[in-house]
């Protein structure tokens, strides 16, 4: 299944394919060349940026901050590249690297889009461990190396659709969540998979704010068949290299047919449960954020219509508005998961 290209994205806004494929040279060039022509005019969310600001997300700096250990280097030297004609890619143009790493929702670092990039510079991911709990035969606390090493890293090029009506196209690096789940042998009682983000107020400044709107840790969850779906992905990098902290280092979830808040970042716990787990946004505002959070242009959020989206980056000359597709364009693969369900009720 291929997602149709957005016709209103100008070629000058796009990272050249040849530059991206030579990822080491791209990271170097990004510091001096700005990745994309006219970078000073690029405005994620229409926030004007000076040329210097647009280049603050220098790739090598971000990667050095988030690279957990030497053993990762070999993993990233042998990534299986995405087949642009295959089932885990899209023929749409990639969102420029600078926009992917400077325009984020990661409330642990703040509520403004630039807060995660600006406030995550000292974020440490070594050591890192993930607790596997609940209805599994092999529970335990596993080092990140034990979580990642058995898997071959591959590239997946997915659309990311935020409930706030902006979207990106990102080349993630990681492995299928299903492959990890099988290793820990869930029991027949495991109907759902719950996830939690790190709680570390020293590293994540918004967690120590008395004005925080979230009851930490950040929580998310999937039904087991959603978690086992081939599209569901555990990402440990993007654009061919380590995951920057502002994007969810060292390991995060990517569920491309759901709104972005389902793709939980900086995971430290995976729990298998018989009951539907509580999730952070549905706990805070259940009338606005349901458990399923499937991209649905026919069901509008109380504050944002969902039938259109803005594909970042938008510029002074192009607002890059495109229609939103059901299940974010992945309906052929996932619609069967929800047969017989009222998706306006189970939103």
Write down the pLDDT at residue 315.
Answer: 76
Instruction: Give the predicted TM-score (pTM) of the model.
Output: 0.82
Give CA–CA dist 259/283, Å, rounded: 16
Is residue 101 a contact partner of residue 246, using CB atoms and an 8 Å limit? yes
The CATH H-level (homologous superfamily) assignment of domain 11-338 is Oxidoreductase, molybdopterin-binding domain (3.90.420.10)
Write down the pLDDT at residue 68.
Answer: 63
Is residue 19 a contact partner of residue 26, using CB atoms and an 8 Å limit? yes
Is residue 191 a contact partner of residue 273, using CB atoms and an 8 Å limit? yes
| Residue entry with tokens 């022509």 | 37
Residues 6+ apart with CB under 8 A from 341: none
Backbone angles phi, psi at 79, to 5 degrees: -75, 135
Is residue 210 a contact partner of residue 261, using CB atoms and an 8 Å limit? no
The segments of the chain whose pLDDT lies below 70 read 1-68, 318-319
160 alpha-carbon distance from chain centroid? 7
Collapsing DSSP to helix, strand or coil, 313 comes out as coil
- SS3 of 43-88: the string is CHHHCCCCHHHHCCCCHHHHHHHHCCCCHHHHHHCCCECCCCCCCC
Angle at 34 between CA 255 and CA 204, to 5 degrees: 50
Is residue 260 a contact partner of residue 306, using CB atoms and an 8 Å limit? no
Q: Smallest Cα–Cα separation from 239: which of 91, 85, 35, 33?
A: 35
């Amino acid at each position: 299944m291929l997602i149709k290209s957005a016709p209103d994205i100008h070629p000058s806004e796009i990272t050249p394919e040849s530059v991206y494929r030579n990822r080491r040279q791209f990271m170097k060039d990004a510091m001096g060349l700005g990745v994309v022509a006219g970078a000073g005019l690029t405005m994620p969310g229409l926030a004007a940026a000076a040329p210097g600001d647009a280049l603050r997300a220098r790739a090598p700096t971000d990667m050095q901050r988030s690279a957990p250990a030497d053993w990762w280097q070999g993993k990233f030297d042998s990534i299986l590249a995405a087949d642009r004609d295959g089932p885990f890619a899209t023929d749409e143009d990639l969102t420029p690297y600078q926009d992917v790493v400077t325009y984020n929702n990661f409330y642990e670092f703040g509520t403004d889009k630039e807060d995660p990039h600006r406030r995550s510079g000292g974020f440490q991911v070594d050591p890192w461990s993930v607790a596997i709990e609940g209805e599994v035969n092999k529970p335990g606390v596993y080092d990140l190396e034990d979580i990642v090493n058995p898997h071959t890293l591959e590239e997946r090029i997915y659309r990311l659709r935020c409930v706030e009506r902006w979207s990106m196209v990102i080349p993630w690096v990681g492995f299928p969540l299903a492959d990890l789940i099988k290793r820990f042998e869930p029991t027949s009682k495991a109907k759902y998979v719950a996830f939690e983000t790190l709680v570390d107020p020293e590293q994540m400044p918004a967690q120590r704010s008395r004005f925080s709107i979230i009851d930490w840790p950040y929580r998310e969850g999937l039904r087991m068949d959603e978690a086992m779906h081939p599209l569901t992905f555990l990402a440990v990098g993007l654009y061919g290299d380590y995951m920057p902290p502002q994007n969810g280092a060292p390991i995060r979830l990517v569920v491309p047919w759901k709104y972005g808040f389902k793709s939980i970042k900086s995971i430290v716990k995976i729990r298998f449960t018989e009951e539907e787990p509580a999730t952070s946004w549905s706990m805070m505002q259940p009338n606005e954020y349901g458990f399923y959070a499937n991209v649905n242009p026919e069901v509008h959020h109380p504050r944002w219509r969902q039938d259109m989206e803005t594909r970042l980056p938008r510029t002074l000359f192009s607002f890059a508005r495109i229609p939103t597709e059901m299940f974010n364009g992945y309906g052929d693969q996932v619609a069967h998961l929800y047969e017989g369900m009222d998706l306006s009720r189970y939103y």
